[in-house]
Structure 1
C-alpha cells in the first residue's frame, strides 16, 4: 500500500466513523422526542446510512490493501487466504470484523428510526463508538503492551468524533434554508446551550489524551522532524478551534438568545453559522493530520537527530 493511499484511506475512514458516532450522539443530548426523527431537524437516516455504507466499503478496501501489502499478492482470489488468516488470527483483523458487525447493527437501527427514534440513535451511537474505537488497533496505541496508551488513543478518537459530529450538526441546523421560522432559531439556540457542558468535557478529554498519547509515543523529547511539525500544526489548529468555541459560547450563543427576544435573529444566526463553518474546516484538517501522524514514527526521527 502506497503511503498516500494509506493516509487518504485513514483520513476518509476516520472522518466517516467520527461523523457516524458524533452525529448520532448529538441527536441524543441536543434533541428530544420527535425532534430525533430523521428529517424533523437533521436527516439522520440518509446521513448516518451514508456513513455506515461508506464505512463498510472503506473497511473492506482497507483490508484488501493491507493484505496485499503484507503478502505481496495483487490477485483478488489469491488474497482470500491471507485475508482469512488476518481476520481470524490477528488483533487488527478481529477489530476489523467487530467493526463490520457493529456497522451492520447500526444500519438496522437506522431503519427503525421513525418507530423508535431515541432507541435507534442510541444503538447507532454505541455501534459508531465501537466502530471508531476499533481503529485504535491499527494506531500507535496498539504497539504498547500497557492499557493506558491504548485507552487514551480510543478516548482521543471518541472525543474528536463527538466534536466533529456536533459541528456538522450545527452547520446543518444553521443553514439559511433551515432558519425560516423562529422555532428553528430557538431550537438552534437551545442546541448551542446544551453543547456547552458536553463541549467542555470534550476539550478536556482531547487535551489530556493527546498529551498522554504524545508522551507514550515520543516521550518528553520534542520531535523536530515531520512528526513534530505536523503535531505543531495540529495543536495550533486545535487552539484556533478553542478560540472559536469560546466565541460561540460567550458571545455568539448569548447574542443569538438575546436576538430572539428582540426579533432580530438573522444577523446573529449568520454569524454563528460562519464561525461553525470555520471551526468545521479546522476540524477536518486536524483529522487529516491525525491520519498522517498515524503513519509516522517520531522515535525514529528523534533517534536520527
Structure 2
C-alpha cells in the first residue's frame, strides 16, 4: 500500500511541476503582449498559482512518506526527528527546501499584474522545482563525477519533458471547441503550433539522448536480462508510448498544422481544428501515462528486480 501511495505522490508531483514549468514557458515563447494576460488566451494565474500550491502540498506529503519509509515510523511525533534529519542533513532534504522556496516565489510572482515578468519568474521557479526532483531519482545513488553527470542528464530530461507536457496542455485548452469560436482564435492556435515546431524538434532530441544516456547510467550496455524484468517491461512500454507520441507530433507538424493554415485561407477551418484537437488530446494522454511509468520506474532497481 505504501509503495502505491509513494508512486502516486511521485506521479502527481512530476505532472504538477512539469505543468508549472511548461505552461509558464509556453506563455513566453508562443504568446506576446496582451495575449499573456491571464484569461486572454489561457488562465495563467489560476493554473500557475494552483500548480505551485499543489506542488508545495505534494512535496510536504512526499517528504513525510519518504521519512516514514526510511524510519519505519508512522506516528508524526516519532517521525518528526527523522524529517528534521532528512531536511537539514541530507541532499534530498536540501533539494526539498529549495523546491518549497521557489514554489512560494512562483505563487507570489503570479499575483503580480505584470504578465511577462510573472511568467518569467514562474518559469524559472518551476524549472528549479522540477530539477529538484532529480535528487529523488537514481542519480542520488551515484558518487563523484558520475553523480554530477547523472544529475545533469536527469535534469535535462525532466525539463525537456516539462516543456512538452506544458505545451500539450496549452494546445488542448486553446483547441477546446468553445475556445475556437472566432477566426482570430484559430489563427492564434495555428501560430502557436507553428512556433512550437523548432522547440518540439529540440525537445525530441534532448529527451532521446538523455533517455539513452540515463539508461546506460542505470542499467549499462545490456538488454536481455533487463527486459525480462518488471523494470524492463515498464521501460519498453514507455519507449513504445514515446514512439507513438513522435508519430503524433510528426502528424501535427507535417500534416495537421499546415492543413489548419490552408483551411484558414479557404475559410473552412472547423474540420482541421477538430482534427488537431483530437491529436493533441491523444498525445497529452500518452504523455501523462509516460510520466506515470517514470514515477513507477523511479522506485525500482533494475538489479534487484532482475534477481
Q: TM-score, normalised by structure 1?
A: 0.97
* Alignment root-mean-square deviation, CA: 1.0
| Equivalence for 1:230 | 234
| Equivalence for 1:50 | 50
What pairs up with 1:206-221 in 2 under 5 angstroms?
206-221=207-222
Partner Cα separation in structure 2 for residue 286 and residue 68 of structure 1: 27
- Partners of 1:217 and 1:299 within 8 A in 2: no
| Equivalence for 2:154 | 153
- Among 279, 282, 294, the alignment partner of 1:278 is 282
What pairs up with 1:92-131 in 2 under 5 angstroms?
92-112=92-112, 115-131=113-129
Count of residue correspondences: 301
Partner Cα separation in structure 2 for residue 299 and residue 76 of structure 1: 33
Partner Cα separation in structure 1 for residue 6 and residue 78 of structure 2: 21
- Among 293, 296, 302, the alignment partner of 1:289 is 293
| 3-state SS, counterpart of residue 292 of structure 2 | helix
> How far apart are residue 209 of structure 1 and its match?
0.2
- Partners of 1:189 and 1:253 within 8 A in 2: yes
| Equivalence for 1:134 | 132
Structure 2: which 5+ residue stretches go unaligned? Answer: none
| Equivalence for 1:246 | 250
> How far apart are residue 78 of structure 1 and its match?
2.5
Partner Cα separation in structure 2 for residue 212 and residue 144 of structure 1: 14
| Equivalence for 1:265 | 269
| 3-state SS, counterpart of residue 300 of structure 2 | coil
- Partners of 1:189 and 1:257 within 8 A in 2: yes
Partner Cα separation in structure 2 for residue 269 and residue 232 of structure 1: 33
Partner Cα separation in structure 1 for residue 90 and residue 177 of structure 2: 49
> How far apart are residue 299 of structure 1 and its match?
2.2
> How far apart are residue 144 of structure 1 and its match?
1.4
Partner Cα separation in structure 1 for residue 270 and residue 231 of structure 2: 43
- Partners of 1:144 and 1:150 within 8 A in 2: no
| 3-state SS, counterpart of residue 296 of structure 1 | coil
| 3-state SS, counterpart of residue 222 of structure 2 | coil
| Equivalence for 1:16 | 16
- Partners of 1:256 and 1:265 within 8 A in 2: yes
Q: Can you list the C-alpha shifts for 1:218-272, whole angstroms capped at 9, x where unaligned?
A: 0011112011111110000000000000000000000000111111011100000
> How far apart are residue 141 of structure 1 and its match?
1.4
Partner Cα separation in structure 1 for residue 79 and residue 52 of structure 2: 25
After TM superposition, where is structure 1 displaced by more than 3 Å over at least 4 residues in a row?
A: none
Partner Cα separation in structure 2 for residue 71 and residue 144 of structure 1: 22
Q: Can you list the C-alpha shifts for 1:172-197, whole angstroms capped at 9, x where unaligned?
A: 00001100111000000000000000
> How far apart are residue 77 of structure 1 and its match?
2.4
- 1:174 equivalent in alignment to 2:175: yes
Partner Cα separation in structure 1 for residue 136 and residue 64 of structure 2: 15
